[in-house]
Amino acid sequence: MRLPETAATDRLILRRPRPSDADAVFAYASDPEVTLHMDWPTHTDVSQSLAFLEHSETGWADGSEALWAITLAGDDRLVGAISVRPHGHKADFGYVLAREQWGRGIATEAARVVIDEAFRLPGMTRVWATCSIDNVASRRVLEKSGLEREGVLRAWSVRPQKGGLIEDSYSYSIVRR
Q: What's the confidence (pLDDT) of residue 1?
A: 58
DSSP type of residue 124: -
Smallest CA-to-CA distance from 148 within 168, 132, 134, 128 is with 128
Contact 146, 113 (CB under 8 A): no
Helices and strands (H and E) in the chain: how many: 5, 8
Which pTM value belongs to this model?
0.95
d(CA 138, CA 177): 25
pLDDT in tens, 1-21: 589 999 999 999 999 999 999
Q: What is the pLDDT of residues 118-176, one digit of tens each?
A: 999 999 999 999 999 999 999 999 999 999 999 999 999 999 999 999 999 999 999 99
Average pLDDT over residues 58-80: 96
Domain 6-124: what homologous superfamily? Gcn5-related N-acetyltransferase (GNAT) (3.40.630.30)
Domain ranges of the chain: 6-124
Confidence of residue 177 (pLDDT cuts 50, 70, 90): confident
3-state secondary structure of 28: helix
Residue 62 has pLDDT above 70, yes or no: yes
Instruction: Report residue 100's pLDDT band, with 50, 70 and 90 as the boundaries.
Output: very high
